[in-house]
Structure 1
Amino acid sequence: MVGTSNTLSRSRAVVARSGRSKAVVRPAGYADLAATARTHVEFLPVGLFPSLGAGFVRRWHRTYLDPRHGVGYVVTDRTTSDDDVVGFLLGTTDQAAHMATLFADRRALASLSASGAGTLIRRPRLARQLASRALPWARQIAQRRSGQPAPADGPGENPQVAVMVAVAVQPQWRGSGIGAELVRRFVEDARRAGAAEAELVTPVGSAGATGFYERLGWELGPCWHTRDGDQLQAYRQRLGAGN
């Protein structure tokens, strides 16, 4: 992957076969973004960003390929003529550092803003939904841009936390093991990069993957409802020595 931490696993490995198909995991690149964005919008529709469309999501995914703390992998079907992307994972090995880098990148913010604004002009109902959330987001952005630390959850220094932002696998490949391999690689790279723990959030119900993460040994975290009525479940995994 271009522009990521040197700790990123760069090997290509066959991880699953389905009929005559062969799946290979490799680092994500810019040429993969259109496919990862389409997959995200289709199979991970919960939240505001997917509702802004594949164009916005493609620009958002790009931010995980640029910063030093971004992580991205794709799974391709090597038996197809174009090595079709059948799954992907995006995340960070240090979420706080990643967000600080993003908020300092005027070009990336301008690209995201322009793409999002174009969608909102065409969809006024979505614009009204966004307006209800604008104040807390604006405060967070101002805080990040001014260099002030975000509010801490407790006393003492905050540990380095890796965040798995998005994982999606095409339906015909689910159960093949490629999802578990994507997660394993993320955990491996996050640990190697010095993260003390990894976190993720998934919807509860048919749109989510709570059972998948519990089978992989992730610990239950908080559960809450969004303003849109979606129920979300957080998970974490400790990455220190012995874990």
Structure 2
Amino acid sequence: MELLVQPLPRPRDSLHGFVPRPLPIMRPHPGRTRLAGPVLVREAVAADVYATARLHIEHLSVGLFPRLGLRFVACWHRAYVQSPHAVALVAVDPASDGDGRIAGFLVGALDRLAFQQELLTRHRTRLAVRAVVALALRPPVLADFLRTRLRPYLHRLRAPRRVQAVPPGAQPAAPVAELSALAVDPVLRRTGTGRRLTEEFIDRCTAAGAVRVELVAAADSAAAVAFYTSTGWTARRRYDTRDGRALQRFVRWTDIPEVPG
């Protein structure tokens, strides 16, 4: 397997002074896939969100958000693109005849609590309007939402968790990052694309000072569980959602020591 290096562009801001290192990209033997060249992994921009939303809905159907449709998911992805507390990455298919077709993506929060607070302030109205329209157009999804999720969502909106002020002289606790969504088109699977998207995200979490990264995957997806287990993630608590879906929480520690809170 040939190892190529594709440098990433400089991030849209200088968060924590971090500049990504050149990103190694794995290219398998041409006889095994249709790849025509190295996969390009870059930061997502606003123009990418409908492509990433389509991938999300087609290949990552866990949870409520994919059921709300393309416009809602694109609006949610745009929040990651715009936030200084989040990262959005895309993988471009090298066999897309020069049109830059996006065949993989990752969105995640560098600081989960800070990003959640931003969602509930800066993006709340736009997301709420998209959600109301989507639910109105999808009566079965609306019925499930009213039965299983209305109460916790109202509680979250009324009493959002806030970033606690650090007392004078005290050392702030390191943030916890969260990998929110990762999907790769079947044409790029088993090429190292998912691993490279994940490693780039972990590097950025480390540079942002996160002590650990967490994610949730479908417990009944053998492929997802095998992927995260083989790429350094540790399975933690398994639980069922309100609509009966089994989920598995994973955690991965960065190189930053945790400060007791």
- TM-score, normalised with respect to structure 1: 0.87
2:198 is aligned, of 149, 159, 183, to 183
Residues 12-51 of structure 1 mapped to structure 2, 5 A cutoff: 13=23, 15-17=25-27, 18=33, 19-51=35-67
Partner of 1:153: none
Superposed displacement of residue 199, structure 1: 0.3
Q: Which structure 1 segments of 5+ residues have no match?
A: 150-156
- Between the aligned partners of 2:14 and 2:88, the Cα distance in structure 1 is 9
Superposed displacement of residue 207, structure 1: 7.2
Question: For residues 31 and 3 of structure 1, do their structure 2 counterparts lie closer, same or farther at Cα, with a shift above 3 Å needed?
Answer: farther
- Between the aligned partners of 2:223 and 2:213, the Cα distance in structure 1 is 18
Residues 228-243 of structure 1 mapped to structure 2, 5 A cutoff: 228-241=243-256
Partner of 2:167: none
1:195 is aligned, of 210, 213, 229, to 210
Residues 113 and 163, structure 2, Cα contact 8 Å, conserved in 1: no
Residue 214 (structure 1) aligned with residue 224 (structure 2): no
Structure 1 stretch 5-14 or stretch 108-117: which is displaced more? 5-14
Residues 45-84 of structure 1 mapped to structure 2, 5 A cutoff: 45-80=61-96, 81-84=98-101
Question: Which amino acid counterpart does residue 85 of structure 1 have in structure 2?
Answer: I
Question: For residues 45 and 237 of structure 1, do their structure 2 counterparts lie closer, same or farther at Cα, with a shift above 3 Å needed?
Answer: same
- Between the aligned partners of 1:114 and 1:207, the Cα distance in structure 2 is 35
Superposed displacement of residue 167, structure 1: 0.4
Question: Which amino acid counterpart does residue 29 of structure 1 have in structure 2?
Answer: V
Residues 197 and 236, structure 1, Cα contact 8 Å, conserved in 2: yes
- Between the aligned partners of 2:99 and 2:112, the Cα distance in structure 1 is 33
Residue 99 (structure 1) aligned with residue 116 (structure 2): yes
Question: For residues 40 and 144 of structure 1, do their structure 2 counterparts lie closer, same or farther at Cα, with a shift above 3 Å needed?
Answer: same
Superposed displacement of residue 51, structure 1: 0.2
2:185 is aligned, of 159, 170, 173, to 170
Structure 1 stretch 216-225 or stretch 108-117: which is displaced more? 108-117
Residues 202 and 208, structure 1, Cα contact 8 Å, conserved in 2: no
Partner of 2:125: 110
Q: How many residues align?
A: 233
Superposed displacement of residue 5, structure 1: 3.3
| CA displacement 1:108-127 (0-9 Å, x = unmatched) | 22221221111211212211
Residues 135-146 of structure 1 mapped to structure 2, 5 A cutoff: 135-144=151-160
Partner of 1:154: none
Question: Which amino acid counterpart does residue 235 of structure 2 have in structure 1?
Answer: L
Superposed displacement of residue 193, structure 1: 0.2
Question: For residues 7 and 165 of structure 1, do their structure 2 counterparts lie closer, same or farther at Cα, with a shift above 3 Å needed?
Answer: farther
Partner of 2:103: 86
- Between the aligned partners of 1:211 and 1:47, the Cα distance in structure 2 is 20
What SS is found at the alignment partner of 2:104? strand
Structure 1 stretch 43-52 or stretch 228-237: which is displaced more? 228-237
- Between the aligned partners of 1:7 and 1:228, the Cα distance in structure 2 is 42
Superposed displacement of residue 2, structure 1: 4.1
1:129 is aligned, of 126, 135, 144, to 144
Question: For residues 42 and 9 of structure 1, do their structure 2 counterparts lie closer, same or farther at Cα, with a shift above 3 Å needed?
Answer: farther
Question: Which amino acid counterpart does residue 59 of structure 2 have in structure 1?
Answer: F
Question: Which amino acid counterpart does residue 238 of structure 1 have in structure 2?
Answer: W
Question: Which amino acid counterpart does residue 24 of structure 1 have in structure 2?
Answer: L
Q: Which structure 2 segments of 5+ residues have no match?
A: 1-10, 28-32, 165-171
| Identity score, percent | 32
Larger gyration radius, structure 1 or structure 2? 2
